[in-house]
Structure 1
Amino acid sequence: MNKILIFDLDGTLFDTSRAIVETFNAVFKVLKIPLAGDENIRATIGLPLEKAFATLLNIFVEEPLISKAVEQYQLQYRRCILPKAKELLFPGVEDGLIALNKKDVKLSVATSKFTASATALLQAAGIDAVFDRVIGADQVSKPKPDPESGRKILEYYNAMPEMAVMVGDTTHDIYMANAVGMRSIAVTYGIHSVCMLEEAQPTWIANCFYNVLHIIEENILK
């Protein structure tokens, strides 16, 4: 049975934090909403859009303004982020994924983005072909850290948890992996701090994507 590697996107494969903050701010300006502050926006990265906006605006997810904000975000996302997708890849990601795709391993994505946005980002960066499956927030009833997205990927491959490894930059990714029973690699170059990630108890910790590749080669593919 092939090993399965599941990757988060923002902060793991893509250095999108600054672009995401810019996109949120563009939405606030278009909708004439007071700016929430860059650090507050950064703190919501990794959450589904509805929950992120609800947190920043301090309103319920069901409020009509949330759906308007999400719709506007999608428009701004295509304008602000997709055109520079390839340059947003962290060093080593493109070549590393291509190399992994040639080995005895399956690659998938579990993200809090909508599936269409995640797929568009992967396509714009030219790395979509290496992934068998992309599970976005709109394909699950409960997003990360709930285990549903991880379980869906395991079901797709008809695989047991011990065959899979989650790679992510937030505690949401690590807690999801722990709940499913799979191993995990926490990356420290993304959104959450080393201290936060250590508290989530990942199997391994990596400080760059090259380190991720080394961990995979030495501990997972052997």
Structure 2
Amino acid sequence: MIFDLDGTLVDTPRGIVTTFAAVFAQLDLPTVDSGSIRATIGLPLPAAFAKVLGISEEESLVAKCVELYLSTFREIVLPKAPQLVFPGVFDGLRSLRENGFLLAVATSKFIFNAEALLVAAGVREEFSTVVGADQVSRPKPDPESGFLVLQRLGVPASNAVMVGDTTHDVLMARGAGMSSIGVTYGVHSVEQLLSAEPTRLVDSFPGVVQAVSEL
């Protein structure tokens, strides 16, 4: 089982929006509405900042924003991480692992921040491997992250399922040839998730555990 991180395991979207706003304030950039920022969650940071700012990813300002974001996120969000884990995640991950599942994370976060968040949240030990956006040349929704997880764990796509809260996760799964479970409690709406045609759609983490037993 491969999990997305933000909006799937940990309720970080509000913290992400706050971090974006703090970065813009520190760089004396115009304020951006929270809806525009939230709409980029699930994309790699360079793509997200470029989209919000309306500039190319190659602009030096994007690199400056990303660098500042990484340090600011650690200051704002990491101390709150244990309280941000979604209901049912702790018990659900443990149950899945005890029942023989290999668990992994494929995230649009850079690997350093992904590892730091998982450790701060108290769930890192549940996962056999973690793949960050900076470890592949084409992050989600491209299937490369999924292929890398499967390669590391020696598991065929037919025996894997991706769990995530955005269409990026579902599309990655489809591209990699694996099943998918969309969760409705994260960033994308039910309508958005259904547009990507997930194998299952659930509204809670206990629902994820139930759905995978049916798959």
Question: If the TM-score is normalised by the length of the shorter chain, which range does it land in?
Answer: over 0.9
Q: Are positions 1:219 and 2:192 aligned together?
A: no
Partner of 1:202: 198
Give a deviation string over 1:5-42, Cα, whole Å, max 9, x none. 00000110111111110000000000101011100000
Task: Tell me the distance in 2 between the aligned counterparts of 1:126 and 1:52.
Answer: 27
Instruction: Identify the match of residue 6 of structure 1 among 2, 6, 11.
Output: 2
Q: Are positions 1:67 and 2:63 aligned together?
A: yes
Partner of 2:144: 148
Instruction: Identify the match of residue 101 of structure 1 among 97, 103, 126.
Output: 97
Deviation >2 Å, runs of 4+: none
Equivalent residue pairs, number: 215
Q: Note the C-alpha offset of 1:107.
A: 0.2
Q: Note the C-alpha offset of 1:56.
A: 0.7
Q: Are positions 1:160 and 2:156 aligned together?
A: yes
Structure 2 residue runs of 5 or longer lacking an equivalent are none
Matches within 5 A, 1:55-134: 55-134=51-130
With structure 2 as the length reference, what TM-score do the two structures score?
A: 0.98
Structure 1 residue runs of 5 or longer lacking an equivalent are none
Task: Tell me the distance in 2 between the aligned counterparts of 1:185 and 1:35.
Answer: 35
What's the RMSD between the two structures over aligned residues? 0.8
Give a deviation string over 1:161-213, Cα, whole Å, max 9, x none. 11100000000000010011100000011111111111111110001111111
Q: Note the C-alpha offset of 1:71.
A: 0.8
Instruction: Identify the match of residue 47 of structure 1 among 43, 49, 54.
Output: 43
Task: Tell me the distance in 1 between the aligned counterparts of 2:147 and 2:214.
Answer: 22
Task: Tell me the distance in 2 between the aligned counterparts of 1:113 and 1:104.
Answer: 27
Q: Note the C-alpha offset of 1:110.
A: 0.4
Question: 3-state DSSP class of the match of 2:19?
Answer: helix
Task: Tell me the distance in 2 between the aligned counterparts of 1:94 and 1:85.
Answer: 13
Question: 3-state DSSP class of the match of 1:105?
Answer: coil
**What fraction of aligned residue pairs are identical, expressed as a percent?**
53
Letter matched to residue 157 of structure 1? L
Question: 3-state DSSP class of the match of 1:113?
Answer: coil
Task: Tell me the distance in 2 between the aligned counterparts of 1:157 and 1:127.
Answer: 19
Q: Note the C-alpha offset of 1:215.
A: 1.1
Give a deviation string over 1:76-129, Cα, whole Å, max 9, x none. 101111001110100001121122222211000000000110000000011101
With structure 1 as the length reference, what TM-score do the two structures score?
A: 0.95
Q: Are positions 1:30 and 2:26 aligned together?
A: yes
Q: Are positions 1:191 and 2:187 aligned together?
A: yes
Letter matched to residue 107 of structure 1? L
